[in-house]
Amino acid sequence: MKSETRVWFSVLMSVPFVMVTSNSLLIPLLPSLQENLRVGLFEVGLIITAFSIPAGLTIPLAGYLSDLWGRKKIMVPALILFGSGGLVAGLAAMVMDDPYYVILGGRVLQGIGGGGTYQIAMALAGDVFQSQERSKVLGLLEAANGVGKVVSPILGSALALVLWYLPFFLYPVLGYLSGFGVLRFVKEPKRERMVSWAEKKQALKETFRDKGKALMVLAFNGFLILFFLFGILSFYSDVLEKTYHLGQFVRGLVVAIPVGLMALTSWLTGTFLQERIAKILKILIVLGLFMIAISLFLVSFVRELYLLLLVVSILGVGSGLVLPAINLLVTSAIGQAERGTIVSLYGSVRFFGAALGPPAFGLAVSCLQLWSFIGGGMVISAIFLTALIVNQSQLLPDKLQS
């Protein structure tokens, strides 16, 4: 990677970092938010959902518009809106006696802005890097996403020690700084001409005809991984507080361990894929899904804190194996003209997984904890078997299959 490219790509990595703080910053704070807002476990889970569902709905539109107008023209306003939604939530918590619904509104604004961030950054990386280096940069973007998952629980817990609502004010700081950096430093390739809707429709039709089956399987894998990851992390945070009586900051540190392993695994996976593409993709996806299934089967049976940490860490490592491989496959499956749309559709499905995980686990755990995890393990096992029979290499251009 050239030095000039390295600079702007470093700034681009701030986009997934900022994006992932949207939920990861608040995960260890859910018990505190539940207490201060005087709501139940389901209602506090909706604080995660209020961001993720609007983001999931906005992502496809943002991707389509980025194909028409350019990636930066979507990312910069999106980052500003993301930060502004956090500002609304923080101010509501600071000045209102009953700020819950206004906080949800601020989270909705964040979600609308968040829909134009990470997946657009992935599409831009796919536009610029056309060789085997693409796997490395996509792995780095996923790793930046993972680093955000590591840093944000610790940072959120530290800020909440001062004031319970102070973490909301971190969003405008990060969002505005990243937006300025993208505007000032990030470069994107010039487009020869604007693609018409008829041309785009035909290209998308051909893509789904030729590769639709594999793309749907990969998108469903992404949905389930995020569903179980955020669902388990919200359950994990609640158990650390109620069963093991860990303080808020210590809880943030403990939550950061499995997501830190996920970030490290994502980076290593992307680097490894740079040299070995089609030969290893299926192995990584199958191995990662197997680890996720094992962790879901085991999490109901462990009682010791260190064993629970080990099981959740297995989930993090498995996710770090699968997600960069899926990102590479989805990003490489299509050309520049429709890349933003396809990658964003994939990202939308991922976000619905993150949106539904915490409240679904909140309800399931309160009713039938053991069977909720065993059922999750069975679902992942079924997807694991599906991944064995799907030919992922059909999604890769010939120059990435060597």
Contact 88, 105 (CB under 8 A): yes
Question: pLDDT (tens digit, 0 to 9) for every residue of the chain, 402 residues total?
Answer: 566 677 788 889 999 889 889 887 887 788 889 989 998 878 888 898 899 788 888 888 888 888 878 889 999 999 999 999 999 999 999 999 999 999 999 999 999 999 889 888 888 887 877 656 777 787 788 778 778 877 887 888 889 989 999 999 999 999 999 999 999 888 887 765 556 666 667 767 777 777 777 778 778 878 888 888 877 777 777 778 778 888 767 877 787 788 788 878 877 777 676 555 555 777 777 788 888 888 877 877 777 888 888 988 998 898 888 888 787 777 776 666 667 778 778 878 877 887 777 777 777 666 655 555 566 565 665 565 555 545 444 444 434 444
Contact 20, 150 (CB under 8 A): no
Contact 32, 44 (CB under 8 A): no
Token pair, residue 155, equals 């940072």
Q: Which residue has the tokens 């590591």?
A: 150
pLDDT at 256: 78
pLDDT at 398: 39
Q: Give the sign of the dihedral formed by CA 137, CA 67, CA 84, CA 37.
A: negative
Nearest to 230 by CA among 262, 198, 187: 262
108-144 b/e (C-beta count within 10 Å ≥ 16 → b): bbbbbbbbbbbbbbbbbbbbbbeebebbbbbbbbbbb
17-33 b/e (C-beta count within 10 Å ≥ 16 → b): bbbbbbbbbbbbbbbbb
pLDDT at 171: 96
What is the rounded distance in angstroms from the CA atom of residue 323 to the CA atom of residue 266? 7
Query: In the chain, what are the domains?
Result: 3-181+195-397 (1.20.1250.20)
List, in order, residues 6 or more apart from 26 with CB less than 8 Å away.
33, 47, 48, 156, 167
What is the rounded distance in angstroms from the CA atom of residue 337 to the CA atom of residue 349? 21
pLDDT at 383: 61
Nearest to 48 by CA among 291, 341, 357: 357
Q: Give the sign of the dihedral formed by CA 337, CA 338, CA 341, CA 346.
A: negative
Nearest to 273 by CA among 118, 120, 393: 393
Q: Give the sign of the dihedral formed by CA 167, CA 321, CA 213, CA 228.
A: negative
Compute how many other C-beta atoms are within 10 angstroms of the C-beta atom of residue 365: 19
